[in-house]
Amino acid sequence: MKKLAILVSGRGSNMSAIIDACEQDRISASVEIVLSNNADAKALSIAKEKRINTVYISSQTHTNPEQLDAVMRNTLLKHNVDLIILAGFMKKIGPKVLSEFEGKILNIHPSLLPKYGGKGFYGMNIHRAVVDAGDKESGATIHLVCGDYDDGKILAQETVTLNEEDTPESLAKKILKIEHGLYVKTIQEIIEERIIL
Ligand code: GAR
């Protein structure tokens, strides 16, 4: 049975989908720890209600970035995690965590990377850029995490089609809907070694 850490900053709908899938054996793993850099994240209270270990670590709890990175690495090591799942985690992963868990950190991003990724492409900015460009499709991407935002080997993608009436808000909803299933499926495929990291 693999052990997962989920890193969150916000509402945590992807986190909830992954927790549910673990509970229902659609993912052969257990969620050992939910880590947030935002004390007020809805995801943290959802995880606490589910009696999952939670931890809040941020630049406010640890003002020195190196120390913050080390505390994160030690927390993840303590829980013996096999995979680290970023689910709406909006901070860069530090070099200590990256080198300790190289090739074991996944992220989901709401665009068809490499399009609309990197600096400035977060939240509604992504979907606004897609709609403004007149793109006919967008989607979600799961990729390995390396040092840069939204970079790293692409592991899975799913496409949604835009229609004339789509707004950034409607597109965001459409994509979020497919993210949950895509993340659950991809994590299980990694565990079953049908996707090799
Ligand atoms: C998701 O749409 C995810 O793709 C995005 O944050 C949202 C989190 O929603 N992540 C990024 O933009 C990463 N660059 P959730 O908290 O409901 O899972």
Extents of the domains making up the chain:
1-102, 108-197
Spatial contact of 103 and 144, defined as CB atoms under 8 Å apart: yes
Q: Are 182 and 189 a contacting pair, CB within 8 Å? A: no
Hey, what CATH topology would domain 108-197 get? Rossmann fold (3.40.50)
Alpha helix (H) ranges present in 24-153?
42-49, 65-78, 95-100, 124-133
Would you place residue 45 in the very low, low, confident or very high pLDDT band (cuts 50, 70, 90)? very high
Q: Residue 64 is encoded by which pair of tokens?
A: 């020195």
Which protein residues are within 6 Å of ligand 1, measured from CB? 10-15, 87-88, 107-110, 122, 150, 176, 179
Residue range 85-137, pLDDT digits in tens = 999 999 999 999 999 999 999 999 999 999 999 989 999 999 999 999 999 99
Question: What is the CA 5 to chain-centroid distance, rounded?
Answer: 10
Whose Cα sits closest to atom 7 in ligand 1? 88
Same-fold call for 1-102 versus 108-197: yes
pTM here is 0.97
Q: Which H helix or E strand runs over 169?
A: helix 168-191
Please state, in angstroms and rounded to a whole number, the distance separating the CA atoms of residues 99 and 66: 13
Q: What is the pLDDT of residue 147?
A: 83
What is the position in ligand 1's atom list of the atom closest to the CA of 9? 16
> 163 Cβ partners below 8 Å, 6+ apart?
none
The CATH fold assigned to 1-102 is: Rossmann fold (3.40.50)
Label the pairing between strands 105-109 and 137-144.
Answer: antiparallel
- Ligand 1, residues 45, 89, 105, 179: which to mutate, most atoms within 8 A of Cβ? 179
Q: What is the pLDDT of residues 57-66, one digit of tens each?
A: 999 999 999 9
